[in-house]
Amino acid sequence: MKLVKRIANLGYGSRKEVARMFREGRVTDAAGEVLYADDTPSPGDVRIDGEPLDPPQGLVLMLHKPVGYTCSTRDPGRIVYDLLPPRFRLRSPLLSTVGRLDRDTSGLLLFTDDGVLLHRITAPKAKLAKRYDATLAQDLRGDEAALFASGTLQLESDDTPLAPARLEVADARHATLVLTEGRYHQVRRMFAALGNHVEALHRSQVGGLALGDLAPGQWRPLAEADLDALFAS
Ligand code: URA
C-alpha cells in the first residue's frame, strides 16, 4: 500500500491533506530525514512531526469507560470516542467497540479494527465471561443466585431463557454477576425481573482480562499477553 494511503487510513487526514504533510516536510524517518510520498519505509520507521505513527490495522485497546458516555459514533452527547485520540475515529478500517456498555454503565470496554477478533470475542459460542459489579436499590431477596444459575429465567420480550449466570453476593445491596452472553441491558433486566433495580453498574473483567489500575477515561493498547489473558478464562 502506498505510504500516503497508509497514513490517511490511520486517520491523519484525507489523502490530499497527507500529501500536503509530505510537501511540508512533516513526514520523516526515525533519523529525521524527510520522506517523500513514493518512499517505501517500514511503518515503524515513519515519523509525523517527530512522532511515531499510530499502530497499524490490528489495533486492540481497552478503555475504562466512565458513566455518561455512549457507545456510538454519532450520538449528540458525550461518546466513548471523545476519550480516544480524534484520529482514531477516522481510521479505515473502522475502530469499533466490541459490544456495548449502557451510557450509565462504567468499566472495561474493548475496541478493535480487526473483524475476525471482534467476532471471536462477541460470538455467542465464545461464551466469554463478563464480570459486572452491581449496586442495587433494594436488598437482595436471597433466591437470586439460584434463579440466575438455573438457566430457566426468561426475560420479557426474549424468546429463549437466559444461560446460567453466577451471582456472587458481597452484601445485601452489592453483588457481582458473571455472564457468558450479552443480551440488551441484560444485567439491569435480570434484576428488574426479580423486582429490584440496578443503581450502578461496572464491568470489571472480560474473559481473563481485568481493568487493573486503568483510571476512568483512560485507555491503553492491548499487548499479546493481554489477548492471551482475554481468552484464557
Ligand atoms: N448489562 C446491562 O444492563 N448494561 C450493560 O451496560 C451491560 C450489561
Active site residues: 102
Chain centre distance of CA 184: 16
Q: How far is the CA of 98 from the centre of ligand 1 (A)?
A: 13
User: CB of 134 closer than 6 A to ligand 1?
Assistant: no
Q: Whose CA is nearest to atom 2 of ligand 1?
A: 185
Q: What is the pLDDT of residues 106-140, one digit of tens each?
A: 999 999 999 999 999 999 899 999 999 999 999 99
- State the Cα–Cα distance between residues 72 and 37, nearest whole angstrom: 34
Q: And the C-alpha cell for 166?
A: 453466577
User: CB of 130 closer than 6 A to ligand 1?
Assistant: no
Beta-sheet pairing, 60-65 with 46-48? unpaired
Chain centre distance of CA 40: 33
Per-residue model confidence (pLDDT) at position 233: 63
Beta-sheet pairing, 198-206 with 209-210? antiparallel
Q: How far is the CA of 7 from the centre of ligand 1 (A)?
A: 36
User: CB of 201 closer than 6 A to ligand 1?
Assistant: yes
> Which is more confident, 133 or 44?
133
Q: How far is the CA of 112 from the centre of ligand 1 (A)?
A: 20
User: CB of 101 closer than 6 A to ligand 1?
Assistant: yes
Q: Which residues does 67 contact at the CB level (< 8 Å), separation at least 6? A: 103, 104, 105, 106, 200
The yes-or-no answer to whether 3-52 and 60-124+208-230 have a common fold is: no
Of 223, 3, 231, 4, the residue nearest 122 (C-alpha): 231
Query: Is the pLDDT assigned to residue 177 strictly greater than 70?
Result: yes
Q: How far is the CA of 102 from the centre of ligand 1 (A)?
A: 6
Where are the domains positioned within the chain? 3-52, 60-124+208-230, 129-206
Q: Whose CA is nearest to atom 3 of ligand 1?
A: 185
- State the Cα–Cα distance between residues 145 and 6, nearest whole angstrom: 51
Contact 103, 70 (CB under 8 A): yes
- State the Cα–Cα distance between residues 131 and 124, nearest whole angstrom: 16
User: CB of 118 closer than 6 A to ligand 1?
Assistant: no
Query: Is the pLDDT assigned to residue 97 strictly greater than 80?
Result: yes
Topology (CATH level 3) of domain 3-52: 3.10.290
Query: Is the pLDDT assigned to residue 1 strictly greater than 90?
Result: no
For 135, what's the count of Cα atoms within 13 Å in the CB-facing half-sphere? 7
Proportion of the chain above pLDDT 90, given as a percent: 95
Contact 113, 94 (CB under 8 A): yes
Of 128, 219, 223, the residue nearest 180 (C-alpha): 128
User: Mean pLDDT throughout 69-97?
Assistant: 95
CATH architecture of 60-124+208-230: 2-Layer Sandwich (3.30)
CATH 3.30.70.1560 fits 129-206, yes or no: yes
Of 29, 49, 26, 24, the residue nearest 40 (C-alpha): 29
Query: Is the pLDDT assigned to residue 100 strictly greater than 80?
Result: yes
Q: And the C-alpha cell for 182?
A: 450479552
User: CB of 106 closer than 6 A to ligand 1?
Assistant: no
